[in-house]
Structure 1
Amino acid sequence: MLASPLVTLSRDERNDSDLDQLSRLVSEHEVVEVIVGLPRTLADRHGPAAQAAVAYAGQLAGRIAPCPVRLADERLTTVTAARMLSQRGVKGRKQRAVVDQAAAVEILQAWLDGRAAHRTREGQS
């Protein structure tokens, strides 16, 4: 399975319009699972950003139930995305505009690849 971007939303902490938009997208596209990036530190710890992501995932889960919301490690995805964009000739201001979306694709693709590998191992056991 290949991850591809749909839309990039900005976090709206004042009135949660991003959560409303995500809820609509989940319904519209008949999403079966949502992955939220978990920004752990390089030392594999949960800092304030990870705590915020966990809280956000909880809020989203409450809005889109019964669709599950899962957390996925997002360490180094921005670096990987920026490197990939540079290799494809996207630089400077253009790169900054799409790096978050590219990082989100990296997070989802890594999660999908990990799930496929897990299923393969289970089938071989």
Structure 2
Amino acid sequence: MTSILSSPDELRDVLTGPASLIGLDLGSKTIGVAVSDRLRTIASPRLTIKRTKFKADAAQLLEIAAGEDAAGFVLGLPVNMDGTHGPRVQATHAFARNLAKLTDLPIALWDERLSTAAVERMLIDADRSRARRAQLVDKLAAAWILQGALDRLAGSAPGAPEA
């Protein structure tokens, strides 16, 4: 069992050598998945998982992590704009706790305020249809979350507010 880290700063302390990270945007119906390169500089959207039961979802995520030889996970933490924690934050913490029981990979939480809104705006600006936006938004939000954490790991992003 691994511990849950409150930020990528803590993740930096446990990472050794080149290996990818897996970024997750947890929704109530889907999980957006992104993967970084082995040097942890660029996040790429990978897929969207339709949520079923936790064990099946976790098995799929762990399979992806094994296939990518990943060094850890970064989960988006949906903190409210005023910094308070609502039911989605509690659900994310529960997901992280349950996933931590199944893997030794570190799990870092990253404040994801406005990630989905930013991705939606980008897709609208790119003139994507509503249907196409629905197909893309979760995995792109996961990439947005992961890229923010990667930038923080590299020291080029300001710190996200404490979660």
Q: Using structure 2 for the length normalisation, give the TM-score.
A: 0.67
Q: Is the strand fraction higher in 1 or 2?
A: 2
Residue of structure 1 equivalent to 2:71:
32
TM (normalized to structure 1)? Answer: 0.86
**Displaced runs of 4 or more, over 3 A:** none
Corresponding position of 1:4: 44
Unaligned runs of 5+ in 2: 1-40, 158-163
Once the two structures are superposed, the pairs formed by residues 48-63 of structure 1 within 5 Å of their partners are 48-63=87-102
Distance across 2 between alignment mates of 1:97 and 1:88? 14
One-letter identity of the residue aligned with 1:49:
R
Indicate the RMSD between aligned Cα atoms, in angstroms: 1.6
Give 1:45 deviation, angstroms. Answer: 1.1
Aligned mates of 2:136, 2:55 — CA distance in 1? 22
Task: Indicate the residue corresponding to 1:123 in structure 2.
Answer: none
Structure with higher RCO (Cα < 8 A, 6+ apart): 2
Q: Does 2:126 match 1:88?
A: yes
Q: For residue 32 of structure 1, what is the amino acid of its counterpart?
A: A
Of all paired residues, the percent bearing the same amino acid is: 34
Render the CA deviation track for 1:23-76: whole Å, top value 9, x for unaligned. 1111121100101110111111111110100110111122121x1011111110
- Structure 1 or 2: larger helix share? 1
- Give the drift of 1:118: 6.3
Q: Which residue of 96, 102, 107 corresponds with 2:145? A: 107
CA deviations 1:59-98 (Å, max 9, x no partner) are 1122121x10111111100110011112222121111121
Structure 1 contact 40–75 (Cα < 8 Å) conserved: yes
Aligned residue pair count? 117
Gaps of 5+ in 1: 120-125
